[in-house]
Structure 1
Amino acid sequence: MQSMAISDRNTLKRRFTDGKYLSQQDFATLIESTVNRRTDQFYGNWEKGRAYREKDVVIHEKQLWIRRGGDCICSEQEPNQDPTHWEVFPDDGDWTIYSDRQVMWAEVFDRVGVGVGGDSAPKEPQARLDVRKQREDAQQSLATETDPPSTLLKAAPGRWLVFPQGSTQTQTTLIHYSDAIKAVQPDQEQQKPTNIPLSSISYLINGLSTQSATWCTDASNGFRFCQGITQAQEDKVLPLRPEDGEAMLVVQPRSIPPLPPSRGTETSSTHRHLGSLGLNTAAPQAVVDLSDPARGSLLFLPNSAASPTLYLLGPDNVADVPYMSLGVTAQETSLISNATGGFGFYRGENYTAEPPLPAPSPDTVLLKVRQGEQSSRPQVGIGTDAPAARLDIDDQNVQVQVQILPEDAKGEANPAISLYQKFGETSTAELTAAIATRAEATVSGWQTSAERGFVFQQMSPATGQFTACQEEAEPPGESNLLQGRTHLAIREQGFVGIGTDNPHAQLEIIGDGGKGQFLFHVETQPQPRFSICTPNLADSTQTFALATQIAQAVLSTDTVGGFQFMAPSIPSLYGEADADDLDNGRQLVTISPEGRGRMGIGRPPRDYALDVQGTVQARAVYADTNADQVREVKPLFSTLWKLQNLSPVTFEWNADVAPGETGVPEAATSPPSERSADMSNEAGAEPDPWLDPETLPHQAEPEAAEANAAPSPDQQIGLLAHQVAEHFPQVVKTASDGSQSVAYPSLVPVLVQAINELNHKHHKDVRQLETQIEQQANRIALLAIVIGAWAAIAFLKLLF
């Protein structure tokens, strides 16, 4: 038969107050755990008028009294006044009581045992004080949340030994039997399952010697020190358990693999144990785990790390817990953090014992390593806690700053090196210089806000270094950057000077020895302008300029000869002749400032706006004869007879003909012998503008061999200028050198007028012929009428 379990009062209270359904076993435990006056013959405090039987026990005046033999009586006198019926509970001589000193002393010889006995331990005490909680006495109902209400769990017993036998120092030992066994369900008793122990015993030994104080345990979770729950009433303290409260200090063991062999030692097959210390945490996650819920944690040698590591963790009441990790491996030492502010190294003040220490400030920053606010790329600041570049060096003492790979507003790094100079304590940093480039670019860029821009000079050969500035116009302490020979200067307005440190244009190049200068976009000119200036003997300059405006580009010069475009007269520019000599070459194009401007192609221009030594090919040539461009407009008459005096010829160009010579045989220039007699109606009078084409003279037909000969590729067809000038001087231009030229497009109106004259003559002749035909028709019609009338009369006469 299964023995009834006995539970203490607090356990019974929990059974009846936790809201669970009570079983038959629960009520049996309740009955077994209470005192039954009839069965146990213990009535508590003595009561007057109650009936007591033999061997009934009561409490009176802090002593136990037992009823003497005899019948049941109704006690009317107090036990200490009724020796007939009551006597003091027998004394076994184990204790001596000193009531005046409130002391009770054990009279035993060596050892005292409370609850002595057990399953395997000896029956006698094994220490000066051996307190045992036996399994039978500890049986209680502890149904877990996951088990049915009828499931029982035996409470684990234990022992407490003070000065155990065999100890060599002051020692106490606590033993906890944790081999609790789950009870069997009532409906499963016939199956008789095998009971499986949950675990074995654990112990705690506390020892003290002259050398050390020792705590030793084999509990799996080690040592735990808690801050208990504050209670104002004693009855609420008794139900508390050792694990109730907040963990303040925890020392836990952890098993590690055996060490590998070293220095000739053999490998151990047993695992070793190391301690883990947890402060303010019940489950340390490292060899040393120091936690503060409000400020964070420190983990030294965390369990999850395979190498020596130190963790600093922020409080876990935020979404992303900030942390810092310091680790060491055979390859590297790593420092890792997810803090948005990165890593900061600050210069501290003098240490004082009065807390708190001063917080770091931007003025005390030494080094800052962080992740960019707009990007995930690293930033390093030296002397600043807010780096704006991948490397930002700020020396606030001398107020200079250097940035390598500065970032823009989007966090993108610009491939640049920036130098800043600060002026005054309250002024902002001004960009002194910057070197920039991009991976996809083909050039590098320089930027500056310095008053004098960029200057590239050769240092003084005497010192080889920059010296302190001595000019009063420059700020004191500034390096004199104008002490050497200037090779290149980039001024603040964007002007670049080569050979000069004071350029007056966007680009100014001055040659050595004053040979001349090049200027691009002169400062005084509003349009983009490129100028070349050459000094002459009159202590003045001659300028060639190329400029552009909104609607046009402009070439200008103040030279007398204007512009000349020439080609070298030798095959190679690097031959023996001086190719740099501008006079040594062949003229291609010449633009002269004479008049309104003249251009010569292949020769200097004469009296023509365009003078071409060669042929001209174009799709169309237009003459500006708009009504608003001409005056004294008169009709053109009598062109047909004049054209009869012109002799078209074939010819070839003669490059060797001197100006003024014609190079044409005289026979080709004279008209036919009969031409002069037919040109006019009478001497001194203009011929009729509407001449009969039949009266016009004709040239003789060429010989058959000459007509069939193939023309030369250089052969040209045209009119002789001096012959055209006799009849049409308007289309012939005589230059200053005596040469004559014919404006062939101007002969087109002459041909048009000649065609009109022929057309007029043709229409006149057609009208005369039509008149003659009409007159002849009228005559024939009249004759036909007369003949018809005569025939009719004759016929009538025959009839009548």
Structure 2
Amino acid sequence: MSITTRAALKAQFKTGAIPTSQDFFNLIDSTLVRRDDAFFGKWAAGTCYYEGDVVIYNNALYTCVPAGDKPCGCEGKEGGTADKSKGHCAVDNPEIDCTNWKMLDIDASDEDWEIVRNEDKVPIIMYAKVFGKIGMGTEDPKARVHIHVDEVKGDFLFSPDNAQTPEFVIQQTGDGVQSLSEKLADNKAVFTTNTQGFLFTTTVPPVPAEGEENVPKEAAAIKPVFITTPDAGAAVGVGTTAPEAAVDIQNQPGARLLLNPVQAVVPQAVWMHKGEYGQQTYLSTALDGSASAFTTNAPDGFYFRKGLEEGKNYLKNIAKPGAETLLSIKPDGRVGVGTETPVTNVEITKDNSAGAFLFCLDNTNPGFSIINNRPNNEKRNYLLLGADNDWGALLTDASKGFVFRKGGEYGNGNEIEINQGDDLVTISNEGKTIVGGLTPEGFDLNVKGKSRSFGHYLDTDVRKVTNQAKLGTVLDKVRKLNPITFNFNQRANCPGKETQIGFLPHQVEEFFPELVNTDSDGTQTLAYANMVAILTKAIQEQQDTITTLQKRLDALEGK
């Protein structure tokens, strides 16, 4: 046998010379692989091998060379047809059984094959250096390596004919040809398919056990990741093979998240929850050219909560995280700040706080109410501001009524502290009005300071008085009154430099106690307007005296 290199063979047939019979002998010898070799894969103990059989053991190829003096071990087996003179029943591996096995020596002198040996010069790897196409299961390979498997109607193509970059293609034939291509191009890993999409699973269908019939079986439950390209664009399904959005996540039976649904015309995210009896609720967030929109059909509306869990603990308690509701929006439009159950259109409150604010538009007339919880939170009082068609109304059930104060400068909490400043006007719950910060006792209107009007009338309508009686003699008492001039001091809210004319109430009280009022703190006040009646009576008495004297004078003069 003469082995000639591939290059030398090509040269013999390219020179134009007519090949001799020896040239053809060299060609046959150089290209012939021992036709009686039989490759049996990995060596297996107890298998009957014959001369020329090839196996793999410990990363090396061995060929069977039976010594002929050992029985094959097939005695007593039904249907045994082994030729004991040539067969060898392997018991020891080829490395030990050197009598019946020898390492396969492949001639690599033509440089078509490369043999890699270990430190002991033992060949461990052999690979082809020069090749065209290899077809397995097909006589018409369409790639460097083309494997066709009839059982699965599939083809595996390593480096297809038209490939421009490293590429691997899987094809399956049926109603049509479906394919999956994996390649490297433009610094990217490129996956291409004409199927419905890409399915990534965490489990695989069960493989038949040894001796079982290879029939389809139901795969174990999986949570797939599916990538597809419908007409509306790319879609990824997590936990579903029928995504309805760019990303459709359905990990839990009752929880679903869709990012940019296929029918959406603006950026949109939809959260869906399937509750008891299959009832579905959703939350949609969308952004268009003019506004961001939040939409839900949840029966309790919207809750905005502040998480009370630390970040590292949140996922552990994600089913029932600690949270405080800051804002709630109910399906009927009511808004609660600090509460999930607002009782008016807008309610602002806080747990264990001083009170609440209520804005109400549901009644006939609009109203704004401030609620004070009181320290014990048992009895509340309110201040209500509202308006009807005729009046602007200010109402309260506070125990003392209303007070208007002049507050301190902005800052230091003055703008939110009501218990500060100077009283300007007070209206008691009895209707008594105080201007200037005096006490309301004894008077329905109490003014600390100067009062001005362009007309002042006292209502003494006959229908409103009883026990009418004529005023007695007053002239002698009037003569004893002490009119004085004076100036107010700092205790009065009047200019101190203005000289006043009047009476001291305690001096008047001795003669006319009906004109003097004494408060609980001892302050005395005088009803100056009522003195008109006294002075009128005094003038009348003087006129009677004058008339009497005039008559006497006329009589003396003889008139």
Asked if TM exceeds 0.5, the reply is no
Which structure would you say has the larger RCO, counting Cα contacts within 8 Å and 6 or more residues apart? 2
After TM superposition, the score normalised by the length of structure 1 is: 0.32
After TM superposition, the score normalised by the length of structure 2 is: 0.43
In our comparison, the structure showing a higher alpha carbon Rg is 1
